[in-house]
């Protein structure tokens, strides 16, 4: 079934702008144009857009989505390759989560030290100003 970009957007849950962006970035093959010059999409294109949307919802980078799409279209792929890519990303997420938890704990400590009253003394600002502060740095 042929559809225009608005219909493809509604079917995939993506905006028209994102569909054009994914075409420009090479994630999606540029849609053919009808005689009026409008993009036309088929069911396969919409399925690919749904795949991209779901991968983005999970936080995969565009580069990784390109890899996943190539694996998806490769019938000779090994599921071990897909699993390894997903596991690598999960390990990165675990590191990010750990870092965010550490940042939150440090901020909570500063907030707990602050009386939050009308006085000018503020342990939060003092803690941020310390040059030897134990605040976490990005990994």
Whether 73 maps to a domain, the answer reads: no
Q: Is residue 71 part of a domain?
A: no
In a domain, 138, yes or no: no
pLDDT digit string, tens, across residues 16-75: 999 999 999 999 999 999 988 899 999 999 999 999 999 999 999 999 999 999 999 999
Same domain, yes or no, for 33 and 85?
A: no
CATH number of the domain enclosing 21: 1.10.1660.10
DSSP string, 40-75: -B-HHHHHHHHHHHHHHHTT--HHHHHHHHHHHH-T
User: What tokens were used for 3?
Assistant: 């559809």
Both 56 and 83 in one domain: the answer is no
Q: What is the reported pTM?
A: 0.78
> 119 and 91, same structural domain?
yes
Domain that holds residue 128: 78-133
* One domain for residues 52 and 106: no
């Amino acid at each position: 079934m042929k559809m225009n970009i608005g219909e493809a957007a509604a079917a995939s849950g993506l905006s028209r702008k994102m569909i054009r962006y994914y075409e420009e970035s090479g994630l999606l093959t540029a849609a053919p144009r009808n005689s009026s010059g409008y993009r036309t999409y088929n069911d396969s294109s919409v399925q690919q857009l749904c795949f991209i949307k779901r991968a983005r919802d999970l936080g995969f980078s565009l580069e990784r989505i390109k890899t996943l799409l190539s694996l998806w279209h490769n019938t000779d792929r090994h599921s071990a390759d897909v699993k390894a890519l997903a596991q690598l990303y999960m390990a990165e997420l675990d590191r990010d989560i750990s870092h965010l938890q550490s940042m939150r704990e440090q901020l909570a400590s500063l907030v707990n030290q602050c009386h939050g009253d009308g006085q000018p003394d503020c342990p939060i600002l003092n803690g941020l100003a310390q040059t030897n502060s134990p605040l976490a740095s990005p990994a």
